[in-house]
């Protein structure tokens, strides 16, 4: 169970996506950057919400840096004051719809909990919203969907 609680620390992230205008007028395709701060709003594993409410992690900050590094801080309260754990690592964007993340998750006392290397689909990105979908993580046949806002 402790491993599952720290799972929320593991997938924090992404870059840009494009959308097409369906009209006949040629319109520039918008690109959105994931660089900066994102706050987690939902983390659903196999249809079950694992964020907020009675779950261990109630608030989370995700930082995506221009150099490809990121960090995530997870808190056991809603006002970002009691650290439940954190994660640091790197991300790459092999395409506008895929992000690869390689990172370490730590307890509040700096104990290494896990190393993870995942590939997630960017299913939604705008100037204020981001959604990632990770298949087969943390175990085979699992579906994990995480949502963020700026």
What pTM, to 2 d.p., does this model score?
0.79
Q: Give mean pLDDT, residues 37-44.
A: 97
Q: How do residues 59-105 score in pLDDT, each as one tens digit?
A: 999 999 999 999 999 999 999 999 999 999 999 999 989 999 999 99
Say if residue 110's pLDDT is above 80: yes
Q: Within a 10 A sphere around the Cβ of 108, how many other Cβ atoms?
A: 14
Average pLDDT, the chain: 85
Say if residue 25's pLDDT is above 80: no
**Residue 27 is encoded by which pair of tokens?**
């319109």
Bridge-partner residues for 86, per DSSP? 73, 106
């Amino acid at each position: 169970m402790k491993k599952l609680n720290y799972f929320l620390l593991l997938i924090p992230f992404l870059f840009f996506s494009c959308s097409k205008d369906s009209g006949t007028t040629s319109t520039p395709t918008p690109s959105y950057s994931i660089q900066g701060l994102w706050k987690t709003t939902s983390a659903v594993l196999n249809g079950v919400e694992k964020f907020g409410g009675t779950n261990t992690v109630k608030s989370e900050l995700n930082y995506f840096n221009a150099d490809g590094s990121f960090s995530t801080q997870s808190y056991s309260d809603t006002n970002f004051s009691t650290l439940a754990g954190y994660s640091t690592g790197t991300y790459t964007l092999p395409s506008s719809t895929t992000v690869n993340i390689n990172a370490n998750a730590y307890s509040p006392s700096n104990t290494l909990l896990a190393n993870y290397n995942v590939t997630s689909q960017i299913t939604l990105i705008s100037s204020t919203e981001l959604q990632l979908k990770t298949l087969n993580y943390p175990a085979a046949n699992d579906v994990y969907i995480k949502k963020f806002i700026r």
